Amino acid sequence: MGQVKITVRKNGPLRVEDPDGLVELFDADGNKYDTVGKLAFSLCRCAASANRPFCDGSHNKIAFQAPDCVIKTV
């Protein structure tokens, strides 16, 4: 089983990569999005996507500026 990797893209989405395509994604009501079998997808951080929670590239059109993320290690 491969390791899931989530990358915070600068001024862009959260990129989710799963070599096994097993990541499950649910909305606030517990409804499951069809992500099984997808090796990668991106989650919108800018709220401009017409396909939320997925990124559709709209962050580029609105010149989204994300706040800096500080990585804390444990």
Question: Which residues of this chain interact with ligand FES, rule CB under 6 A?
Answer: 12-13, 44-46, 48-49, 55-59
According to DSSP, residue 25 is labeled E
Q: Tell me how far, at minimum, the Cβ of 38 lies from ligand FES, in Å.
A: 16
Q: Tell me how far, at minimum, the Cβ of 43 lies from ligand FES, in Å.
A: 8
Nearer to ligand FES, 22 or 58 (CB): 58
d(CA 43, CA 17): 11
Helix (H, G, I), strand (E, B) or coil at 69: coil
**Closest alpha carbon to 64 in 72, 56, 74:** 56
Nearer to ligand FES, 14 or 22 (CB): 14
Q: Tell me how far, at minimum, the Cβ of 31 lies from ligand FES, in Å.
A: 20
Is the separation of the CB atoms in 43 and 52 below 8 Å? Answer: no
